[in-house]
Structure 1
Amino acid sequence: MSDITAGGGPIGRVGGAGLVYVLIALVGAGLWLVSSRYPADMPVIGPYSFEAPVYGAVALALFWYLRGLGRLSRQGGAVPALWRRVAFLAGIALIWIAVQTGFEYLAQRMFFLNRIQHVALHHVGPVLLGLSMAGPVILAGGPDWLRHLCGGAAARRVMRVVQHPALATGLFVGLFWFWLIPPVHFVAMLDPVLYQLMNWSMAVDGILFWAMVLDTRPRARTGVGFGLRAALAVAVMFPQIVLGALITFATRDLFPYYAYCGRYFPGIDAVTDQQIGGIVIWIPPAMMSALALIVVLNNMRRADAQRA
């Protein structure tokens, strides 16, 4: 999406961005109106329950990314490869589908669909976004305050803390386990605030972790070497295999919330629902770790070739 200019000057650029922001706000207001007043008329790709922060984050990230691509192209900057652009759009789309479409209704009524939702938010979507290396593009297309905020000393200190290998790995594994403690899960699924906190923690934590692991920059610029990143990609796989196995082989209903609210597919009993959900926890995250390991090793090879 290119800037709408008036004689190519700054006023035109600001005005063009302003029109897009107004359009984003109007679309959001329309989605909220239909979701709250006429939910039966909402198409399946629209939000089951409109959440303004999720909508704003997705819409602004998409706008700034597309505008950044246009600016980098015109200025002769480094434009990401096509496959990285596709990875970004796919990651954004997957997060939107997981929490702002009719799929969310199903994820609140079947355990295995809820697990698919969280694997999308915590693993697949963030891995795609990590592969896209979209940060510089979003900053290129974002407003000045965003560049100043992200480039400031405070932001760098925060990122050094949350992306410290030990803390990032502990949060990545711990949050996934925490929200599956049966009493915690029951309360979180019933409380709207905790439900949103649970989903946001999955997405934000996943993006921070995989962005650190899949970063193409060498240790001199990130503070984390490729060997450690490869080890982290593998290390997070085993606790989730254990968690998936514990749920898969459970012989009683661990998550009574879904019986309480009524399962969407009544032909699938509680134990079968859990078994499918356990496999979802078990297999796809392990595949993401294997993919991440391959990517990190390739990044290491390319960095060595550049040094040579």
Structure 2
Amino acid sequence: MNPLYWLDPWEPSPTVVIAIAVAAVLFARGKRHARVSLARQISFWFGLGALYVALHTRLDYFFEHEFFMHRAQHLVLHHLGPFFIALAYPGAALRAGIPFAWRQRFVRPALAARPVRIALDIVMHPVVAVTLFVGLIYFWLLSPIHFIAMLDWRLYRVMNWSMVIDGLLFWWLVLDPRPAPPARLAPGKRVLVVIAAIPPQIILGAFIFFTPRELYPVYSICGRAFTWLSPMRDQQIGGLLLWIPGSMMSVIGALIALRHWMRLSARERLKPVPRVRAPGSASEAAQHG
């Protein structure tokens, strides 16, 4: 079979093509101006490619017809793809890829708008970030919600995009290599945030694995891609994917956040920068008066 067959989308989506293409063009343009190492470039392209494969290829048929394949898809959309994109720290390259006039006229005013700043402050709050990251997994795996989402193509796409966007926000927050400020969270808090996301994933994965009844009958109703795999075995594999690889991605994220913390500490970039008084200030005058 021609390998290109698998790149043919099961359900074409202009939104996916445009979003991936815009990100690719901006990064390709911007990396020439921003200093992006080869390792970071590979990380970005791998993450972006993983998102495309999980959203817009023939594999989408299997994602819709097997529970464990669906869990593999969300592992890529929520963990793997956003993780490697955030690990590349591509913000400077993406900004540099936008024409300067557009940045001045559209991007900067949009980011400075009060509603945008309030929204970012809310979703980037550590408690909210962990709640959203874990809560979306729980929400879309509620049996009634999951049943409807797998039957309604519009809700199905909302589900997938919500996982991508939330994954990007979470890993961008956790894997930020800078001190705070300019980063939103101090390095120690970034480690705690990602560790806090591990136990709920383990609990849900274990629950799905050990449940003795079929939780997601929609796959049996609509027809399974792999007829040789029993519904319970399919469900158990899906639970394991959430339980082990999903949790391990968070452990790796915690280790990288810890590494950033140790690196910043070794360079003494965690200490607050002392204010330098201007010569001849009022305080100096008082001391010498």
Instruction: Please give the TM-score of this superposition, normalised by the length of structure 1.
Output: 0.82
Q: Please, which of 51, 59, 69 is the counterpart of residue 103 of structure 1? A: 59
Structure 1 residue aligned with 2:287:
none
- 1:180 counterpart (138, 141, 144): 141
Task: Compute the displacement of 1:307 (Å).
Answer: 2.3
Q: Which structure has the bigger radius of gyration? A: 2
SS at match of 1:222: coil
After the TM superposition, which residues 18-33 of structure 1 pair with which residues of structure 2 at under 5 Å, given as runs? none
Aligned to 2:28: 66
Determine whether 1:119 maps to 2:75.
yes
- C-alpha distance after superposition, 1:250-296 (max 9, x if no partner): 11111010001111111111100000000001111111111111111
Indicate yes or no: 2:9 matched with 1:47. Answer: yes
Query: Match of 1:270?
Result: 231
1:1-308 aligned within 5 A: 43-70=5-32, 72=33, 78-143=34-99, 144-145=102-103, 147-149=107-109, 151-154=111-114, 155-307=116-268
Residues 205 and 149 of structure 1: CA distance in aligned 2, closer, same or farther (over 3 Å): farther
1:162 and 1:108 mapped to 2: Cα distance? 29
Which structure 1 residue ranges, 4+ long, deviate > 4 Å from structure 2? none
Alpha-carbon distance between aligned partners in 1 of 2:149 and 2:59, rounded to the nearest angstrom: 18
Give, in whole Å, the separation in 1 of the partners of 2:72 and 2:184. 33
Bigger RCO (CA 8 Å, 6+ sep): 2
1: CA distance, partners of 2:76 / 2:109: 28
Q: How many residues align?
A: 261
Which moved further from structure 2: 254-263 or 145-154? 145-154
Q: Deviations over 1:182-230 (max 9, x none)?
A: 1100000001111011000000001100100000111221231111110
Q: Contact 1:234–1:293 (CA<8 Å) still a contact in 2?
A: yes
In 2: Cα distance, 1:200 partner to 1:128 partner: 17
Measure, in 2, the Cα distance between the counterparts of 1:149 and 1:203: 25
Once the two structures are TM-superposed, the CA of residue 69 in structure 1 deviates from its matched residue by: 1.0
CA separation of 1:130/1:150 partners in 2, compared to 1, >3 Å: closer, same or farther?
farther
Contact 1:248 1:274 in 2 (8 A): yes
Distance 1:139 1:149, change over 3 A: farther
Greater Cα offset, 158-167 or 242-251: 158-167
* Cα distance per residue 1:43-71 (max 9 Å; x no partner): 3113111111111110000000000012x
Which string of whole-angstrom CA distances, capped at 9 and with x for unpartnered residues, describes residues 82-137 of structure 1? Answer: 11111100000000000100111110000000000001000111111110101111
Distance 1:223 1:247 in 2: 35
Mean Cα deviation higher: 289-298 or 202-211: 289-298
Supply the distance in 2 between the matched residues of 1:60 and 1:181 (Cα, whole angstroms).
33
Q: TM-score, normalised by structure 2?
A: 0.87
> For the Cα contact (< 8 Å) 1:139–1:147, is it kept in 2?
no
Shift of 1:147: 3.4
* 1: CA distance, partners of 2:267 / 2:13: 45
2:109, 2:26 → 1: CA distance? 15
Taking the aligned partners of 2:68 and 2:22, their CA distance within structure 1 comes to 31
Question: Which amino acid is the alignment partner of residue 115 of structure 1?
Answer: R
Distance apart, 1:150 and its partner CA: 5.6
Q: Distance in 1 between matches of 2:220 and 2:240?
A: 20
SS of 1:108 mapped into structure 2: helix
Partner Cα distance (1:82, 1:147) in 2? 27
Structure 2: gaps spanning 5 or more residues: 270-289
CA distance in 2, matches of 1:252, 1:265: 19
Query: What per-residue deviation string (whole Å, max 9, x for no partner) do you get for residues 137-159 of structure 1?
Result: 11100242463256424433322
Listed as ranges, the gaps of 5+ residues in structure 1 are 1-41, 73-77
2:50·2:81 contact (CA, 8 Å) conserved in 1?
A: yes
Q: Report if aligned partners of 1:47, 1:101 keep a CA contact under 8 Å in 2.
A: yes
